Amino acid sequence: MSLIIGDLAPDFTLANQFGENVTLSDFRGKKPVVLVFYPLSFSGVCTGELCEIRDNFDKFASSDVELLAISVDSKYVQKVFAEHEGYKFSVLADFWPHGQVAKDYGVFLEEHGIANRGTFVIDKDGVLVSKFVTAPGQARSLDEYSRALASLTS
């Protein structure tokens, strides 16, 4: 499934690093959401990307968005990963059914069993307003996030 700008973002409920359920539609009418799919916790590029987000979190806070990072790792791995790296945002486990949310967003790499790096910006109404996906192994840049966040005000 390939989502296009203007589509209603597929709803989901996933456990975060604390074992709490996070449901995308709970943010509807309250605040925009940025979904950051990444392949695996503790891998080099993924850790670097999420640490860059952590270190520049003011970009997201100033846009009053909810940031949700998602990988196929279990909630137990997500807990250790988030604690180890000091992430203050939710790190969600798309563990079972394996990668289903990544599949719903069109970023699951079936042959590898992981999500590709994909970012989806969803407005307060639950509508996709921006997205970008990189090639496997390629990191996203902060500039891409800035451009995507700008789509919330245009």
Number of other residues whose CB lies within 10 A of the CB of residue 122:
26
Q: Which of 14, 36, 46, 65 is catalytic?
A: 46
Q: What single-letter amino acid sits at 149?
A: L
Separation CA 7–CA 138 (nearest Å): 26
| C-alpha closest to that of 139 among 59, 51, 48, 70 | 48
Strand 128-133 and strand 114-115: the pairing is: unpaired
Quick check: is 51 catalytic? no
Q: Give 33's contacts (C-beta < 8 A, 6+ positions apart).
A: 9, 24, 27, 65, 66, 67, 68, 121, 122
Q: Which residues are catalytic?
A: 46
